[in-house]
Each structure stands twice: as C-alpha cells, then as structure tokens.
Structure 1
C-alpha cells in the first residue's frame, strides 16, 4: 500500500519563488498545491485539506492576514507565514492572528523545511495526547480534555492553534511544576530555537487571552521570570478541579 503524501498548499504571487518552492517540496516527496492569489489559496486549502500551509503576506487580491483569518475560521491546519518585513512586531501580529510560525525573506530552503517539519509535528494533536499522562484538567470554568483534543470555557468550546495546544499540553504534563524556557522551546519548536523567547511570550499571551478571566493577572498560566512557565490549578475546593488520569 502506498503511503499518503504530505500535502502542502503554497500561496505566493511571485511565480519564480512559487515554482522554486514547488520543485523543492515535490523533490522531497510532498504533494504540492500552488496558488498565486488569496482567493485561490483559500479554495486550495478548502478543497485539499492540506497538512500545512505556506502563506505569503503580500498578495495581489487581498492582505495575507485576511487569508489567514479565513483559514482560521474553519481550520487548525499549521500555517507558516512568509514576509519580507523584518519588523518583529509585524511578525508577532501574524502569530497573534493564528499563524504557527513565520520566515523572513530572503530565507534558505533548509530553514523553511525545518519550520515545516516543526509545523507538521504540531499538526498531529494526538502526538501530545499520547505522551501525556494527564487526560482531563479542570481549572475553574476551563475544562481541558487532552485525549479528545477539546477545551471549553464556561461550557463553550475554545479553538487553539496546533502550537498553542502543544504548548498547553507540555505545561500540563508538568502538573504545576516549572518548565524551563529552553525545554519548552526545544519541545515545541525543536532544536535550533534556543534563545527565541519571544515565541513563548507571544503564545503564552494568546493562551491567557483564551483561558484566563483576567489575562493581565493570570490564575493558571504563570510566568516565573527568567526561568520558565507553569500551569497551576488552584485549590478552589470545588468538585472536579484538578488533574485526572
């Protein structure tokens, strides 16, 4: 039986770059679906249900952020942003809208391939569920069901990106213990991301906005300055609060 190829949608209006990326990914066994406009890209993502998306932010028909918002409206597929802007605030804004990673032009093919491999790891949420001894966590009105890859707040479902989910479940495995920044970066983004603490600041901020009643004064996802992070379930005294196996 022939194994299914990893599917990738590449959205970029530069025909030379799009062709070069298509050739390189096909040579490595990927099934490639190229698109030169945002509209084509959204259609390709909808029709092919890819394993990962590479999205250029500068498109002729619509802003790349609008394409990202469109994808995130119905899909948790990992999205890697391509941008010609080196401004970290711009890239942070893209991550804040739901992108999983970004690469600044010009970039090497090896760098992009490494980012894709990391994104693909996060695209399989069961990977984190299988490695975790924790099954269900209740923290106040937040219920996290790890095996089912579901999370609710006050009974309403929450959407997490693959990277957010990976970060959260990695912290849950520590059962309130400190997880060092270096260990989180290695676990979630892989080797070579040491020192990239801005990733953690962005994603913990996103998680707090989704999980916490007061993100500025978090009750669960806590920062230990200079050390790392922990996810703590306060002893509220109510039934069901805590970690379950």
Structure 2
C-alpha cells in the first residue's frame, strides 16, 4: 500500500488555497492547509509534511520568517508561491532555504510539475541519508562522482576542475534553483560573493560542452537575475 505524499499549503487567499488543494488532491496527494505562518510552523513540526507550498504574504508573519524557523529542522521541500515577482524577493527566499519559486498566477500543470520534482528530491534525500549518491543521470547526461567523469551519450566530456565542481554541485541539487550567491559561496567562499561574472563565464563554458544548442539549453536553465537550475527530468 502506497502512502500518499503529504503536502502543506500555507496560503491566506482562500480561492487560491482551495484551487491548490482541489488540484493536488485530484492527483492523489494528501493535503493540510492553513493561512497563518505560526500555525504552519506548528504543523511542520508535528505532521512532518513532504512538501510545503508557502505564500510569502501571510497575515501574521512573513513567509520568509517561516522558512528561517523551519529550514534547519525539516527535510521537506519548500516551494514558495507569491505575487512578489521581483528578483530580489526570489533570491531572498531561495537563499533562506526555499527549494523552488512560483510567481502568481501559475497554472495547475506548472504547480504539479514543481510538486513532482520536489517529491523526487525529497525521496532521493531520504534514500541517500546513509549512502552517498555515486552516479547522477538525466536525459543523455551522466555524472560519475567516484571517477569524476561526465559523459553525454557515453562520450566523455572534458571539463576543467572548476567546471566539474560547478556541475557536481548543481547535480546534487538537481531540479532546484541555485542562486548566484549560493553557488559562489559553495565554490569560492563568501569573500568572493559579488563575482557573478566569473560564474557566468564558467556556466557558458559548461553549456558549450554539454548542450547540443547552448542558446536553447536542455540541461542547465537560467533563472534570469536569480541563478541556475540543472533539470531533473
């Protein structure tokens, strides 16, 4: 018997909350809902959801505060949904620990696609708590972490050590948007935090080597003004 994934919806707009709940339950997911940030924190600690769909503009506390309070204590994937479409808000939410970001209005298909990616990541993290991932595969791309080898359709792609470090980092967070700041901090350290130009150069080089058409990438997508995402499907 399969256990239905549990999704917590934190949204103070009642029509949107109902729309999300009905759409997700129709796909076989189990849902909880609240319009308050403090109630969400309690539910996260007591019910241990798999995915949290979180609005930022809540009536009691800001959604960013919810992320801050629970991120270190839950393995749940956090998808922020908000009418705040500015890049600064997206970056702030992602830097605080959100895994993905949807700007309102969004379609049912887009919401469900993000939920599927989030659940795959949640499952992958649970399965690999004791076993380190050794191989990553998506489409025709394969990364062997033990051999530090990257191949497309079985043909080895030569990457510089820095390029390899970047694609390895992104593959371990596949499906998640990684902000420029997060990537730079992880690869170069926080003292290098403003050097996004170097990052763009490295990403362009990686794309040139792994993408069939770098202008229309199928592996590494750009979230304009925010960061990069290595696809997970």
- Establish whether TM, by shorter chain, passes 0.5: yes
CA distance in 1 between counterparts of 2:12 and 2:144 reads 39
Residue 13 of structure 1: how far off its partner (Å)? 0.5
* Residue of structure 1 in register with 2:134 after alignment: 132
Alignment map for 1:161-240 (pairs within 5 Å): 172=145, 175=148, 176=161, 178-179=163-164, 184=170, 188-189=174-175, 199=178, 201-208=180-187, 212=189, 214-216=191-193, 224=202, 226-228=204-206
CA distance in 2 between counterparts of 1:36 and 1:45 reads 14
Structure 1 residue matching 2:97: 3-state secondary structure: coil
**What 5-or-longer segments of structure 1 have no aligned partner?**
135-169, 191-197, 230-245
CA distance in 2 between counterparts of 1:79 and 1:14 reads 18
RMSD over aligned CA atoms reads 3.5
Aligned residues: 180
Structure 2 residue matching 1:29: 3-state secondary structure: coil
Residue 216 of structure 1: how far off its partner (Å)? 4.7
Residue 81 of structure 1: how far off its partner (Å)? 0.4
* Residue of structure 2 in register with 1:243 after alignment: none
Structure 2 residue matching 1:55: 3-state secondary structure: strand
Give CA-to-partner distance per residue, 1:51-70, whole Å, 9 cap, x none: 11000000000011001111
CA distance in 2 between counterparts of 1:202 and 1:33 reads 33
Residues 224 and 52 of structure 1: CA distance in aligned 2, closer, same or farther (over 3 Å) = same
Runs of 4+ in 1 over 4 A off after TM superposition: 127-131, 170-174, 213-218
Give CA-to-partner distance per residue, 1:62-92, whole Å, 9 cap, x none: 0110011111141232100011021112101
**What 5-or-longer segments of structure 2 have no aligned partner?**
137-142, 149-160, 208-233
Structure 1 residue matching 2:174: 3-state secondary structure: helix
Residues 204 and 177 of structure 1: CA distance in aligned 2, closer, same or farther (over 3 Å) = closer
